[in-house]
Amino acid sequence: MKALVSICLISVLASPAFADYRSGVEAYQQGNDVTALQEFWTLAQQGHTGAQFNLGVLYARGRGVIQDFTQSARWYRLAAEHGHALAQCNLGVLYEEGTGVARNDEEASRWYRLAAEQGNAGGQNNLGRLYEEGRGVPRSSHEARIWYHKAAAQGNAQAQANLIRLSAGASSGQTNSKSNRTASRE
């Protein structure tokens, strides 16, 4: 069984799709956005969720393309619908801000929850904040603390600050939603 798993893993890592994806990531990290776009585009069209997520990032940041949050939301959604936690969190941010999509706190909370349940610290922090503020979900400091704790345990600095603020007794009205929001990056 171990040998079969090893063979499967080797075949995936040696596949042209993995090589193209890795080339896209390396190009992005080196600031070669045009090459990153080319590498991700074909894979994204074939349903590669990592490539779809990264196209969303390129469109959101205007790297290699004209900044277009509608396109960013489109690519994040494709990846998010197939369980990509970072895409779910970032799509939640777009819904919360009303950037590239109509503002909708219920949709933001739905995407944050999906990311949070997969262990995404940004999704956990953002869902906690929505519970604290009662936006898209019923207001609940108890639920907010649960999600902040999960994110803080992973080292999310914003969640740690949110816990400290809640422990000090600051009211929800004193939160700064924009600065407390966490986007995910790959």
pLDDT in tens, 8-48: 333 333 445 556 899 999 999 999 999 999 999 999 999 99
Residue type present at position 129: R
- Whether residue 155 is contained in a domain is answered as yes
Residue 158 belongs to domain with CATH number: 1.25.40.10
- Whether residue 100 is contained in a domain is answered as yes
**Non-local CB neighbours of 79 within 8 Å, separated by 6+ positions:** 49, 50, 52, 53, 56, 86, 87
- Whether residue 139 is contained in a domain is answered as yes
pLDDT in tens, 67-115: 999 999 999 999 999 999 999 999 999 999 999 999 999 999 999 999 9
Q: How many structural domains compose the chain?
A: 1
CA 73 to chain centre: 11
Closest CA to 159 of 105, 122, 132, 117: 122
Give the domain extent around 125. Answer: 83-180
